[in-house]
Amino acid sequence: MFRGFAENRKIQRGRQPSRSDYARELLSSMRTVGVYAVVTLAILVGRETGVILMKVQPASAWTIAWQFVLIVLAHDAWFYWAHRAMHHKRLFRAAHLHHHKSRTPTPWTAYSFTMTEAVIEVAFVPVFLALTSMLGIAYAGFAILFFIWHQMIRNVMAHAGSELFPAGWVDNPWTGWIATTTHHDLHHSSGHNYGFYFTWWDRWMGTEHPRYRETFREVTTRGRAAGPAAEPAG
């Protein structure tokens, strides 16, 4: 059933990732995990030395909630501007070209980075925590944990290759500002759309793909219409 849904909702029809794409993505994702592990150890050292204020004991739900929202908003801004910078002709080949070898994204594409890009991506967390620590804000461990889970899930969703959000999402004022799978898939196939969680920065800076909403509507309508006929294939 899910297989039929994924095929019906496939954003780039007629294009499939190759075995070499999967192998490249898997190997570079393992390298990214190594970089992230080293930075995580650096954060823990920073906590032990007092450079980073981070509480591991339980915090109130309100504290976790506002800290989670703050770090997500800050990361969305970091991602947009770091992403645009990596598309500059002086940085693209060294930092970001490897990620864009995946013209047809798969979940493995999510962390398929060069070491340079992996450092740029993961640097947000220690920089953010160091800055908030300078302001006397001790971040709750659960707020950071929930942020990491959220970041990983949204990253994999953005590279799923099939639209996972429901029809009407982009036309609803309550949800239209949350980026969909199509939003980032268009970035891989034809440029534009540098944002991550939200569409705000792309709208404000004029970098949103002109056919984003039209493409989303086409993909979700097609999937809804073809869904029942494709179910037996799953």
What is d(CA 17, CA 207) in angstroms, rounded to the nearest whole number? Answer: 26
Q: Please, are residues 105 and 21 in contact by the beta-carbon 8 Å criterion?
A: no
Q: Please, are residues 212 and 170 in contact by the beta-carbon 8 Å criterion?
A: yes
State the average pLDDT over residues 87-100: 95
What is d(CA 69, CA 109) in angstroms, rounded to the nearest whole number? Answer: 26
Q: What's residue 228's pLDDT? A: 44
**Strand 139-140, strand 54-55: pairing:** parallel
Q: What's residue 5's pLDDT? A: 76
Q: What's residue 57's pLDDT? A: 83
For residue range 139-159, list pLDDT tens digits in order.
999 999 999 999 999 999 999
What burial class does residue 2 get, using C-beta atoms within 10 Å of its C-beta: 0-12 exposed, 13-18 middle, 19+ buried? exposed
For residue range 27-49, list pLDDT tens digits in order.
999 999 999 999 999 999 999 99
DSSP 8-class letter at 12 = S
Beta bridge partners, 55, equal: 140
- Which amino acid makes up residue 149? W
Q: What's residue 231's pLDDT? A: 39
What burial class does residue 232 get, using C-beta atoms within 10 Å of its C-beta: 0-12 exposed, 13-18 middle, 19+ buried? exposed
- Give the HSE-up count for residue 115: Cα atoms under 13 Å, Cβ half-sphere: 5
State the pLDDT confidence band at 1, using cuts at 50, 70 and 90: low
What is d(CA 7, CA 161) in angstroms, rounded to the nearest whole number? Answer: 9
